[in-house]
Amino acid sequence: MKAKVKVDQKGRKSVIDACTEPCAIEKGMRILGSKWKGSIIYHLKDGPVRFNDLSRMLGGASKK
């Protein structure tokens, strides 16, 4: 959906009927935004890894 922009007499712009759903990039960042998810996904990209091996690869992550 394309947003409509309204300009008032002083030249200020405001958005009318903006899409209320976040864009795909924002959704992805919300999912992957935690501290360890990106690193975990990176280490699992080539296939399954045992939990203890993954824990060693990550370094500072606790086992909780």
Q: How far apart are CA 50 and CA 52, in angstroms?
A: 6
Q: What is the pLDDT of residue 47?
A: 93
Q: What is the pLDDT of residue 41?
A: 86
Which residue ranges of the chain lie beneath pLDDT 50? none
Q: Where are the domains of the chain?
A: 4-58
Q: What is the pLDDT of residue 63?
A: 66
Output the CA–CA distances (angstroms, integers) from residue 4 to 9, 10, 52, 60, in the order listed. 17, 18, 52, 47
3-state secondary structure (DSSP) of residue 45: coil
Q: What is the pLDDT of residue 21?
A: 66
